[in-house]
Each structure stands twice: as C-alpha cells, then as structure tokens.
Amino acid sequence: MNKNPQGPNSDKAIRDAQNQRKPKNAKSTILRLLRTMMQDRALFALAIALSITGNLLGLLGPRLAGEAIDAIGADGVILWDTVIAKCALMLVSYAASAALSYALTMLMIHISRGVVYRMRGQAFDNLMRLPVSYYDTHPSGDIISRISYDIDTVNASLSNDIVQILSTLVTVFGSLGFMISISPRLLLVFCVTVPLSLYAARRRATVTKPLFRARSRKLGELNGFVEEQLSGLTTLRAYCREDAAVEKFDAINEEAVVAYYNSEYQGSVVGPLVNFINNLSLALVSVFGALLFCAGQMSIGAISSFVLYSRRFSGPINEAANVFGEMQSALAAAERVFAMIDEPAEPADAEAAQPIGDVQGHVQLDHVTFGYEEGKPILKDFTADVRPGRMIAVVGPTGAGKTTLISLLMRFYEAQEGSIRVDGKPLDAVTRDSLRAAYAMVLQDTWLFHGTVYENLRYGSEHATREQVIAAAKAAHADSFIRRLPQGYDTVLTDDGANISKGQKQLLTIARAMLLESRMVILDEATSNVDTRVEKLIQKAMRELMAGKTCFVIAHRLSTIESADEILVIDHGEIVERGTHASLMQQKGFYYGMYRAQFE
Amino acid sequence: MKKVLLVYLRPYYLRMVLGFAIKFFGTILDLFLPWILAYIIDTVAPTGDRRMIVLYGLAMVACAVGAFLMNVIANRMASAVSRDATRTIRHDLFARVMHLSAAQTDAETKPSLISRLTSDTYNISNMLGRIQRIGVRAPILALGGIMVTLTLDPVLTLILAATLPFIVLLTIRTSAASIPLYHRVQEAGDKLVRLVREDAAGIRVIKALSTTDTERARFDEVSREVIQCEKKASGLMARVGPSTSLILNSAQVAVILAGAVRVASGQCEVGRILAFMTYFTIILTAVVNIARIFIVFSRAAASADRVMAIIDMPPDMLVLGSGETAPQNAPAIEFDGVSFHYGASSENALEEISFTLQRGQTLGIIGATGSGKSTLIRLLMRFYDPTQGAVRLFGQDVRTLPAHTLRAHFGAAFQSDTLFEDTILENIRLGRALSDEQVALAAQDAQAYAFVTGDKEGFDAALNIRGSNLSGGQKQRIMIARALCGRPDVLVLDDSSSALDYRTDAALRRALRERYADTTKVMVAQRISSIAHADLILVLDGGRIAARGTHEELLASCALYKELYDSQMGGLDA
C-alpha cells in the first residue's frame, strides 16, 4: 500500500501537533495583521485623521449645547440671538460629525475588505504552491474553513473593533489631559486602576487565548467533517448511514459549541471586569475627592468636572473591553490563516533551473527507487529509456506502483535514489511548471470544475479558439453528447460534473488533453469508464494525440495497449518483463497470464 | 429568522428571561453608582462627615461588585443559550441535509449546503450571543433615560420621543433592505467554498496543467465578488449609525430651542434642561448601540433564511401507501415501463425500460458512455423516482418502502464512490453492526485481504483524505468489500471493478459466484468479461434497451454486442 511520507496515522498526529505548535505569539500575529493593513498606509492615516476629527467634533456638540443653555439661563434673560446662533452651529457640527463618522465607517469597510482580500489572496496563492501531499492529508473542509470563516472573523473584527479602539484612544488621551489640568492628585487613583485593568485584561487573555484557538480549531474540524460527509452523501444514503452520520456530527458539533461556550464563558468576563475596575475608580475618586474637599483642597465644582471626564474616560475603555472577545477570536482565526500562508510550499526550483524549452521527449529513468515511507519502496531500481515518440505501456496488478511512476515523472514527488532525465536534463535542472507543461496528462480521477463545458475543455490552453475546442471534442467523441446537453457547450457543469456520467467526464478530459500542445503524454486509465466501442472510435484520435509524442499509458484493458512500442510489466515495484505485445505473448510469462485472465 | 426566534429559542425563553432580569438588575446597580456619587458630593461632602463618605464609598464598591457578578452571570447564561440553540439548529440542518432527496441536493448544490452548515450557522450563533449580551443593556438605558426625562419635562421628552418612530422606521427599513444584500454575500461565499473545494480535489490536474495562475485568477474573481457584496451590504448598514445620531442630535437642538421658549414663558427651569442634556447623552449612546445590533441582526437574518429554507424543505419522494402485499416468489427486481429524466433536462435519460430478474440471478448492464446505466441503478435504489412506470423490488413498488427498509436490501459500490478519512476497517464496516470476521471475510471476497494485511497495520491502517494513499484498484476493492460485507439481498456494482486487473477481476467474479449464490447481483460494466456469465444482459443505448439476453444469445443476435465483444477480445486466437 503506498502511503504518504509519514504514513496516515502519523499524518494525523503531525497535523494535531502542528495545530498545537502554531505561533503562540499574539504580538507577532497582531503586528502581521497591522502590516497587512499598512499596505493602505495613506488610507489608514486618513482613517486616523477622520477618527480624531470626528471625536473632537463630538466633544464640540455638548460644549455648544452648554453654551446655548447658559445663554438661556444667563441672569434670567434669554439671549435669543446667542441661543439661535449656537443651535445653528450645533446643527452644523452634528451634521459634520455624522458625515465624518459615515465616511470613517465606509473607509474602515474599505480598508478591512482590502485586508481580507489580500489575506485570501495570499492564502490561496500559497495553497497553489503547496505540494500535492498537503491536500492528501488536510481535509478540504478545514482548508475551506480557514479561507472563508477564519478570514471572515478577522474581517468582522477589523472593521468594527479598530474604529472602536481608535476612538477609545482619542477620547482617553483627551480626557486624560483635561483631568490632569483639574487635579493631578486625584489622577493618582488611575495610577492604581489603569494598571489594574491592564493586568486583568492580560490575565484574561492568557486564559482565553487557548480557548479561542480551540474554538477556531473545532469549527475547522466541524467543517472538515461536513465537507467529507456531503462528498460521500450517496454512499451514506445507499447504506442508510444518514442517522449514523448525524450521530457523529452531533458529537463533533457538541465539541464545537462547547468550545464556543468555553471561550465565551471566560471571554465575556472581560467586559464586566473592566467595567468593575472603572466603577471602583469612580468610588475611589468620589471618596478621595470628598475627603480632599473636606480638607479644603478641592472645590465641589472641580470634583464634578473631574468625575464627568473620568466617565468619558472609562466609557470607551468599557466599550473596548466589550470587543475583547471578538478580538481574541479574530486573533485565533488570523493565526490559523497565517499558519496556512506559512505552510512550506513545494521546494522552490533550483536557482540554476531553466525552463525546459522545446522538448524532444526523450525520457530516461535511471535506477529510480522511491517509496512514500522509508523502508517501503514502491518502485525499486526502475530503469527505462524511452526514446522520443515512443509509446510505453505500463501494466501490472493494482498497487504495483504504476501511478507512483506518473507522480515521479510529473515531479509531484521526488525520487529517493537514481535520477530521471528528460532530453538528458535531470528533473531538478528544469522548472517544475515547464516540466509539467511538457506533458498532457489524463487521469482516471477526472476533474472538472464548476463552469461551462467549453471552459472546462479549454482549461490549460486558453489560447484555443472555439473551433479548435469543438474539433477536439469531436475527436474525443464528446461532441455529440455535449450537443445533447441543455445548453450544449455552454452548459454549466455543477458539482464536479454531477450532471454527466463518469465516462462522459473522461471523454471531456481527453478532449482537454488533445488541446494541449505537449510533446509528452501520460494516460493513466484514461478510458477506464468509457465503453470499449467508443474507445475504439476515439483510438484514432488518441493515436493522433499521441502521434510523434512520447507516451506513457497505464491501462488494465489490454486492448488499449496492444499497439505500444514497449510494454513494461511491473509487479511489486519492479519491472518483471518488457517487450512488445507479441513478444510478451510468446514468452508466456506474467503478461501472458494477465492477458489470458480477461477471458476467464 | 422568525423561526429561529419563535421555535429554536422557545425552550430557552425562561432562561433568557432570567438572564435578562439578572442583566437588568446588574445594569440598574451600574446606574446606581453615579447617583450615589452625586449624593456624596452634593449632600455628604458638605457636612464634612468623613465616616459617612467612606461608608457611601463602600456602598459604591458593593454596587460595583454586584454589577460585575450579575453581568458575568448574565453573559454566561446568554452564551449558554446561544450554545444550546446553535447545537439544535446545526443538528436539525445536518439531519435534514442527510435526508434530502438526491434531486434536492442537486438543486441546492453541495458547496451551498456546506456553507449553510458552517458559515451561516456561525452567523446565527454569533448573533444570538451578541444580542443577548448587548441587546439588553442598551434598551434599558434608552427606556430608563426616557423615563427620567419624562419626570423632568414631559413636553421636551415628547419632542425627543417624536423622533423615535423615524429612527425605528429608518433602522428597520435599512435592515430589511440589507437582508437581500447579505443573502448575496452568503451566495458569493458559496462560490468561494465551491472553488476551494474543487481545487483541493483537483490539485494534481491543476499542477499538471500548470494552471495555478488560472486558478488564482478564478479565485481572485470570486474573492472580489465576495468583497464587493460585503461592501454593498455593510455600506448600506453603515448609514444607520450616523443617521440615527444626526436625527437624535437634531432633536436635541429642538429641545434646547423649545426649552428656551418654555423657560421664557416660565414653564421650565434652566437646571432641568441641563439635567435633560445629561440623560440625553445616555439615550443617544444607547440608541446608537441598538442600531449597531441591527447590523449583526441583518446578517444573521439572511443566514437564518438560508438555513431555514433547507430545514423547512418539504420531504421529497414520500413513501406511498402500499396497496399490494408482496406476492410469494415475486421477482427480485422488476422494471415496468420505466422512463425518467433529470430535473432540468427535457431529454429522457431512460425510456420504456422493462425487465424482470429472479432472486439469486445476475443482471449485467452494458452500453455506451452516457447510455443510462448508472441512472438505472439510481432508480433501482430510489435515489430518484421514475417519471413513468414503476420499479419493484421483491414484488413491492420501491416507492412504497421506507428508504431504510428499501436500502437495507442493497450493498452497492458506485462509480464515483467515497472513502472516508478513517481506518480501512471503518470504511468497510461504515458504522454497521458487523464483526471483524465479517469484514475480513468480505475483504477476502473482494480480493482486498492480501493487500490490506500485507501492511503491518492491516485493517487498522488509516486512509488519507479521499483514500489518496490507495491506488485506484485498491480503492475499488475496499468499496466492493463494503458492499459485500452486509451480505445484502441485492448487490450492485456500478462499474466498480474498472481499475482491477483482469486476474483480480476474475478472482472477484469467482468469489461472487461461489460465495454469494443467493444474492441477486446487478453489475454495470464496460468489460464484457465482467458480465458475460450473467443470467440476463441488457444492452443499453441512448436510454433504451437495445437488446437483451444471455451472452450467447446476444453474440448471435445483437450486432452492437458482437462489436463490443470483438473489440475487447480482439487478437486472441483462443
């Protein structure tokens, strides 16, 4: 059984370990988020300016109101002119303040969406760089969860909480200034309570951080499970496993909601806690203020102004504390996203690596040994020299290592011993992209995406004209069924082509390969679900596809490969026989036995 | 949304009310503090009684402690309600999704169902928590503030209150307008899910075609769409906060002007207007906060609609009342004039299919790509209902059998079948009550035993995602073992030995013949050798039965079959 590098069991263990070992440093996550935001430096500066102006305008209104009321009460005479003037000013300032606050919100929406867009871009960019083995070991649902839900969480927090924190900072510093001017001594109270709040918030953070992390992780697991079960829905239905799946879901759902509750249980303490400390400072201020008054060191008026400003001071801090939970969950989510962005990509091409250029198609495998796990080689000492334009068939029992061979040719994995050369160039001397582009590959597992038939066909050869696409479809005998689809070539294939049969999917992927202008062709059970009559019909086209090209063909249907220039019979990773169909039949060995078996 | 509030929250009403009450008292205590403070400064301090000052100070601390405890308790209760409601909603949604009919699943698409289960339920859960936490304090403050102003000057309060209908109308209308926009956000999210899901499954092809840049471009397009939709929806809701402030602040100006008039006519004192302003600030903050809750609410409402649309989907493919009892010795399978077309398609995928198969017999189905072979299987197992005619299993119309009774008869391996990220044992057993011995036996018959036990972990070896650590043929054998394991009455193999080499395929057929003689077998295949021994072979062509008979009969009578045979057996002179 071929397995991935560490074997499936340890894969899971490693994944868990990775989840544990992720950057635990909240500061670096915050800095990184800030850096992502700072890419809009000008806009960010504008947001800060808007926030400051807006808040100052906000302070202006009450002051004008006070002045207007003073004008009403001034010595029993109402100064109508002043009242009306102040009221007009108030209207203006409130309108301006509303406009500014709207502008600020829109700006923050713009900035935070920009951050989200960039983070998604980076995450996806790296996804495209990751080795194939990453996808073999990470549930799609978890990948989806990171790129959609986790980034959404960051987004929600960015657009709401940052504004909150900005205005908190502005008001806090403003009020602090006023309070110093009134009574530096009373401010001593805050020397006790502010550090106390900070300490309390920090303590809370250390308690809640792992909880919020767990919450994100559990949600990721839930998504992973959901994705897998929905992918296998037909199977589950066929075996009446729906209720069993629901039961399993319930268990995972339970973990997810409990993780949610645990994080909220601790996280939702922060708001009231900070509020409590603020209230405490209020009590201290009033007691000490009153005592100072008794000692004749402070006037009643000064105390009440001080209290007024201290309310202004603590209000925003409360608000900020209330978004603490959201920020924690945003940080945990950001960590998961950054972890995906930082996942080591396929090793970069060697510095000296060149594009492979025009390929003749001379492929040499020189004593190649490879296994997904150490000590369990799948291919052993594999040697073959495939001249340009030759068709090589690889046959053998299932699990003999045929598909592994393809993975090595395409450099999805690297040989552990020996070397593979194309036109005399070792694989690591050429760039991966150019190497892969030199092959046209059709796999047994067809892959189609949500898009029209036409888009699916020209996938990978965007320069192809509609005529060329249709010609290729005709050659692959796909044209007639495509035309019978509701919108012909413009029919949208949904859910990996759920609306067409597997054999039809194979015909589409064959047509797709025919459009590629590659010098080398790999067919891995390309026609296994196509009926033999159609296969016969498309054989001519296949031969055209393969004409003059180096071809590697894997097929169980021996009729497919009879015409190969050379047949490699492999068993347990070793070449046990090689030759043409005729010579192998004469040999009456392994191949002969396999061939006879189809008529048993 | 209504359903979330009325049905899913109903069991928690009592807890919510209790939580609200606690939160209410906590908030009241919170409001006591400034009052005590004013009392200390206005009344106690001038007396110079330091003991009383300290005493009142302690009272403030006591209030603070009380407020803290009550708020914490209320918050935690709110989180618990949110947890429990979310659990139920997710459970109901998942259970409903599992029991949707195949046609319903096709219509909704899997990526959309996935995102409803994840992102939408998350939005709801988030809303439930937030509204309970913030949604109590703000209304209390707003209402309390208005009550106090009423005692100060009812006329001025009326001016203030006159703006409330405008604010309510504005908030509700904006929120209502934003819900469709949030719908679009979630739909764009579906596309994102679909694309990432597709690319994760097709990474080998993407890398092979070096189309990672194409994928990046496709992703970029979807990602932009999500952002655009988000901006639109959030941008609309962003109007609510500033407009509310503006309306209220304008009312404040009006209050001052009216106050001036009233002071002039001696109906009011300046001091009252001053006090009025203090409470006005409280009301303003509270109302703005309420408006903010509506943002969360609108988003969640869109999500709730999407979730409830699935939960409330009427059950499809109902079990029909059975008039007929199963006749003795009825044929195992009977298709009676069956025609069928898929939902949107106008073309029949199957036309006028009629045949019968006796118990223990083998049915072979062969035919061109897209000729309707898999569709026939889908009707047999009632994933879809025929548009015409009837399918009978052991004499009973499949529509009269409850899904579980019906499918319990089957063991099936499909063309595009799924392996789960679990052990081999669990993949074969699939949660059924089957012993290790039964699993091992089935694996033997499916020709999987040797390669499974060849690995040191044997049946406990874990499979990767989509079984990617197995070869194509190995995967198929695990799936066949799964189908055989329950010793079903009817075994369905839909082209599920295509990746097996001929020798293994032959061994499998031998095992089926010898050890599953009583089992009725339905085999779809491309290889004639896989079905040549069948008691009845149907040759399908364009959804119709082109020919039927045994291998020998068809060779003699059916040109199409003969052609297929020759093309596969060609070159062998034995």
> pLDDT at residue B370 above 80?
no
Percentage of chain A beyond pLDDT 90 is 11
Tell me if B211 sits within 8 A of A442, measured CB to CB.
Answer: no
> Which two structure tokens, joined as six digits, stand for B516?
């599953």
**CA neighbor of A287 nearest in space, from B158, B45, B431, B206:** B45
- B23: chain A residues, CB-CB within 8 Å: none
pLDDT-derived band at A514, boundaries 50, 70, 90: confident
Note the residue count of chain B: 574
- pLDDT value at position B388? 92
Closest approach of chain B CAs to the CA of A453, in angstroms? Answer: 16
Q: What is the mean pLDDT of chain B?
A: 87
Q: Reply yes or no on domain B2-311 having CATH 3.40.228.10.
A: no
Q: Are B331-409+489-497+517-569 and B416-487 the same fold in CATH?
A: yes
**Mapping DSSP to helix (H, G, I), strand (E, B) and coil, where does residue A336 land?**
helix
In chain A, list all ranges with CATH 1.20.1560.10.
27-342
Residue B17 CA to its chain's centroid (Å)? 30
Task: Give the span between the Cα atoms of A587 and A577, in whole angstroms.
Answer: 9
Q: Within an 8 Å CB–CB cutoff, is residue B76 touching chain A?
A: yes
b or e along A257-293 (b: 16 or more beta carbons within 10 Å of the residue's beta carbon)? Answer: bbbbbbbbbbbbbbbbbbbbbbbbbbbbbbbbbbbbb
Residues contacting B352, CB < 8 A, separation 6+? B337, B338, B339, B389, B544, B545
Alpha helices (runs of H) in A324-424, residue ranges in sequence order: 324-342, 402-409
The CA distance from B281 to B34, in Å, is 14
Alpha carbon A439 to its chain's center: 28
Choosing among 3.40.640.10, 2.60.120.10, 1.20.1290.10, 3.40.50.300, the CATH entry for B416-487 is 3.40.50.300
| Shortest alpha-carbon distance between residue B255 and chain A (Å) | 10
Residue intervals in chain A for CATH 3.40.50.300: 363-597
pLDDT for B417 beyond 90:
no
- Strand pairing of B520-524 and B490-494? parallel
Is the pLDDT score of B321 beyond 90?
no
Would you tell me the crossing angle of helices B121-134 and B270-311 to the nearest 10 degrees? 160
Minimal Cα distance from A127: which residue of B?
B200
Residue owning tokens 């840049």: B213
Report the Cα B172 to chain-centroid distance in Å: 28
DSSP for B280-332 reads HHHHHHHHHHHHHHHHHHHHHHHHHHHHHHHHTPPPPSPPPPP-PPPPTT--S
Q: Which residues of A34-52 are buried (b: 16+ CB within 10 A; e: fewer)?
A: eebbeebeebbeebeebbb
CA atoms within 13 A on the CB side of A8: 26
* Residue B6 tokens, joined: 């009325």
Instruction: State how far residue B473 is from chain A, nearest Cα, in angstroms.
Output: 5
Q: Where are the domains of chain B?
A: 2-311, 331-409+489-497+517-569, 416-487
Q: Does residue A470 sit at the B interface (CB-CB below 8 Å)?
A: no
**What predicted TM-score, i.e. pTM, was given to this entire model?**
0.84
Give the CATH class of A27-342: mainly alpha
User: Which sign, positive or negative, has the C-alpha torsion A420, A426, A429, A434?
Assistant: negative
Question: Which of A156-170, A272-286, B273-287 shows the highest mean pLDDT?
Answer: A272-286
Q: Which of A257, A493, A505 to mutate to test the interface with B (most CBs of B within 10 A)?
A: A257
Give B573 or A547, the one with higher predicted confidence: A547
Structure tokens at A256: 């997810």
Q: How confident is the model at residue B259 (pLDDT cuts 50, 70, 90)?
A: confident
Angle between helices A151-182 and A300-322 (to 10 degrees): 170
Q: Tell me the residues of chain B between 156 and 175 that have a Cβ less than 8 Å away from chain A.
A: none
The pLDDT confidence band at residue A61, using thresholds 50, 70 and 90, is: confident
Q: Which residues of B touch A227 (CB under 8 A)?
A: 114, 197
Between CA B122 and CA B350 the distance in angstroms is 42
Domain A363-597 matching CATH 3.40.50.720: the answer reads no
**Cβ of B245 and A303 within 8 Å?**
no
Q: Check: CB of residue B401 under 8 Å from CB of residue B420.
A: no
Contact list, B564 vs chain A (CB under 8 Å): 531-533
3-state secondary structure A437-483: HCEEEECCCCCCCCEEHHHHHCCCCCCCCHHHHHHHHHHCCCHHHHH
Question: Which residues neighbour A575 within 8 Å (Cβ) at sequence distance 6 or greater?
Answer: A382, A383, A384, A568, A569
Q: Give the pLDDT band of residue B302 (cuts 50, 70, 90).
A: very high
B154 compared with A78, residue with greater pLDDT: B154
Q: Are B376 and B542 in contact (CB under 8 A)?
A: no
- What distance in Å separates the CA atoms of residue B112 and residue B91, rounded to the nearest whole number? 17
Tell me which of B326 and B226 has the higher pLDDT.
Answer: B226
Predicted complex ipTM: 0.85
Nearest to B91 among A250, A279, A315 (CB): A250
Coil, helix or strand for B336?
Answer: strand
- Topology of the domain covering B331-409+489-497+517-569: Rossmann fold (3.40.50)
Distance from CA of A424 to the nearest CA of B (A): 21
Long-range contacts: A371-374, Cβ < 8 Å, 24+?
Answer: A371/A2, A371/A416, A372/A2, A372/A3, A372/A4, A372/A5, A372/A7, A372/A404, A372/A413, A372/B469, A373/A3, A373/A4, A373/A5, A373/A6, A373/A7
d(CA A546, CA A548): 6
